[in-house]
Amino acid sequence: MDYIFIVNPKSRTGQGELLWSQLEPELKKRRVSYEVRMTGRKKDAERIATEITADEEEHTMIVLGGDGSLNEVINGIKNPSKVTLGYIPTGSSNDFARGMGIPKDAKKALELILNSEKIEKLDVGELVLGGKRRRFLVSAGMGFDAAVCHEVCISKWKKILNRLKLGKLSYAVVALNRLLKDQPVRMEIRLDDGSVHRFERAYFAAFMNQKYEGGGFKFCPEASPSDGKLDIMVAADLSKKKILCLLPTAFFGKHTKFRGVTILQCRSAEVSTGSTLPIHTDGEPIFLRNEMKVRLMEEKIRFITE
């Protein structure tokens, strides 16, 4: 099998490059047939994936990077059903790897890819905003979680905590800060089963393909990336003090039994809000809107798993 590695050398504040330099000799030693494409800047992984898949042939791509790089690759791929994907997590939040049970250790993750014979067909989420589309593998969200993603991307905390090997904590630190600033809004969610769910004071809605987002918050403990469904978590109609108490329980998925937390499932949904909110896909902040559509694509992507 020919592997195409897409490597973000800057992932986890520059550690991606070091990790790749430790893995590549192993590929050579084992005479693995591969080529490597390094990303040089933002959106490179997307461009590279588009280039590779333009021929509509079958390809095996291995991403070395964080959830952001993985998101770029899934967005660049022309037809997800023609691609087999492998993943070596070298990001700071690594929610995809956590959900899929991929080893955090890069060498072990490579071993899994080279030795595994198991393929799981994963659902691919798609966010539709007017004429624009963005795919996701982990989650898409509107409101507080997207505001946190945005602030993490621009804050100094991520770099500092990455250096201390505490990268995933950056989401928790920023979440506390954001909670003090954000105001809840009116939200209506229409699901493909015809049901309509209205919330007077919603903080956010997370549409989850994986169990975890935001660096380890297990927002939807029952979510599965291959069940043909998106799990939804809405936090609404509760005080900020209560959210503060609930957030730590969300690390263990224990928040779902409390009032103010609603869990739903859908294949597609339309959301509208009383005022404009930030929106993210896979932790990458993208737009400010008061409407969005979320759905799963017909095509699935093959993923190398344990």
Ligand X SMILES: Nc1ncnc2c1ncn2[C@@H]1O[C@H](COP(=O)(O)OP(=O)(O)OP(=O)(O)O)[C@@H](O)[C@H]1O
Phi and psi (nearest 5°) for 288? -110, 120
**Cβ 17 to ligand X shortest distance, Å:** 9
Q: Output 71 or 273, the one with its CB closest to ligand X.
A: 71
Alpha helices in the chain (DSSP H): 11-29, 44-53, 67-76, 95-100, 106-115, 144-154, 157-163, 169-181, 240-250
Residues 37-76: x/- map of binding to ligand X (CB under 6 A)? --xxxxxx--------------------xxxxx--x----
Q: Output 159 or 242, the one with its CB closest to ligand X.
A: 159
Q: Output 53 or 69, the one with its CB closest to ligand X.
A: 69
**Cβ 198 to ligand X shortest distance, Å:** 33
Cβ atoms within 10 Å, residue 244: 13
Phi and psi (nearest 5°) for 41? -165, 175
Residue 80: closest CA among 125, 35, 39, 21: 125
**Cβ 171 to ligand X shortest distance, Å:** 9
**Cβ 250 to ligand X shortest distance, Å:** 18
The verdict on 134 binding ligand X (CB under 6 A) reads no
Applying the rule CB under 6 A, the residues between 4 and 23 that interact with ligand X are: 8-12
Applying the rule CB under 6 A, the residues between 83 and 122 that interact with ligand X are: 91-94
3-state secondary structure of 169: helix
Q: Output 88 or 271, the one with its CB closest to ligand X.
A: 88
How big is the site for ligand X, counted in residues (CB under 6 A)? 22
Cβ atoms within 10 Å, residue 18: 13
Which residue's CB comes closest to ligand X? 66
Applying the rule CB under 6 A, the residues between 176 and 215 that interact with ligand X are: none
Per-residue tokens: 174: 């920023």
Amino acid at 9: P
* Integer Cα distance of 52 and 38 in angstroms: 13
Do 234 and 262 touch, CB atoms closer than 8 A?
yes
Applying the rule CB under 6 A, the residues between 225 and 284 that interact with ligand X are: 283
Given the rule CB under 6 A, which residues bind ligand X? 8-12, 39-44, 65-69, 72, 91-94, 283
